[in-house]
Amino acid sequence: MSEANVSKTLLKVDDIHVYYGSIHAIKGISFEVNEGEIVTLIGANGAGKSTTLNTVSGLLKPRSGVITFEGRSIVGIGASKVVGLGMALCPEGRRVFQQMTVRENLEMGGFSRPKEEIPASLEDVFQRFPRLKEREKQVAGTLSGGEQQMLAMGRALMSKPKLLMLDEPSMGLAPILVEQIFDIIKELHRAGTTILLVEQNAQMALSVADRAYVLGTGKITISGDAAEVLADDRVRAAYLGG
């Protein structure tokens, strides 16, 4: 990526506070994602990683704070409008439509696109995920975990996002499939996709990211270049086994 692209801030999150009833889940976090980057949020279970992504994507509304995408405030506009602006979430646990075919799932992902653009988007996804092309007419609930993850990522890509948000893409997958999913993430990045990655597998996430933020119980505790975060003794002790 050129310096001009990298320096453009795509997403900016400023001092957001998110509650579940009386539980203060996100306690004033701030971060940004520049065009052309992979930025990762890492942290233990319950740290607030998925809550952060759900808030950015419009599924949750912060009690206070500002979220801007391409300079425009997106707080409170709703998830479907967020997709229309160019952000797509590949949710934790994949959440494909189990009773629908692979093709139908992908078509659902393109709901915000003009109808005439859907065939080209499908072709792009099938080129990137040949396995999905092979299983185009198969019911999604019968796919393996790795295939369902590919389908969830392909469905998110159908909206041609400027920012792709991935929530725990390696969860529950065998190590060889984790490698495949991260290879796909690297390919998407090389092709120009900006990615915000939430991931429990800190080693893998930090190996592909440009920058990283570490969350601990609703607050950012460490941030910096991914290589620096990977070398941080606190991170190594907490997430990488010493």
What value does the mean pLDDT of the chain take? 90
Instruction: Please check the confidence at residue 5 and state whether its pLDDT lies above 70.
Output: no
The residue ranges of DSSP E strands in 70-207, in sequence order, are 72-73, 87-90, 163-167, 194-198
Q: Dihedral of the CA atoms 119, 83, 203, 4 (nearest 10)?
A: 90
Q: Say if residues 75 and 67 touch (Cβ distance below 8 Å).
A: yes
- Among 121, 116, 92, smallest CA distance to 105 is for 121
Q: What is the pLDDT of residue 60?
A: 94
Q: What percent of the chain has pLDDT over 70?
A: 96
The residue ranges of DSSP E strands in the chain, in sequence order, are 9-20, 23-34, 38-43, 64-69, 72-73, 87-90, 163-167, 194-198, 211-216, 219-225
26-41 mean pLDDT: 97
Tens of pLDDT, residue by residue over 138-195, are 999 899 888 998 899 999 999 889 999 999 998 888 888 888 889 989 998 998 999 9
Instruction: Please check the confidence at residue 62 and state whether its pLDDT lies above 50.
Output: yes
Q: Residue 204's beta-bridge partner residues?
A: none
Q: What is the DSSP-derived secondary structure letter of residue 140?
A: G
Token pair belonging to 187: 């390919």
Tens of pLDDT, residue by residue over 91-122, are 887 788 889 999 999 998 888 777 888 888 89
Q: In which order are the strands placed within the sheet that holds 211-216?
A: 87-90, 163-167, 194-198, 38-43, 211-216, 219-225
Q: Say if residues 82 and 74 touch (Cβ distance below 8 Å).
A: yes
Grade residue 40 by pLDDT with cuts at 50, 70 and 90: very high
Q: What is the pLDDT of residue 173?
A: 85
The residue ranges of DSSP E strands in 51-108, in sequence order, are 64-69, 72-73, 87-90
Global pTM reads: 0.89
Instruction: Please check the confidence at residue 6 and state whether its pLDDT lies above 70.
Output: no
198-203 mean pLDDT: 91
Q: Dihedral of the CA atoms 54, 202, 37, 167 (nearest 10)?
A: -20
Q: Residue 24's beta-bridge partner residues?
A: 19
Q: Which residue has the higher pLDDT, 67 or 239?
A: 67
Q: What is the pLDDT of residue 2?
A: 42
Please state, in angstroms and rounded to a whole number, the distance separating the CA atoms of residues 123 and 154. 11
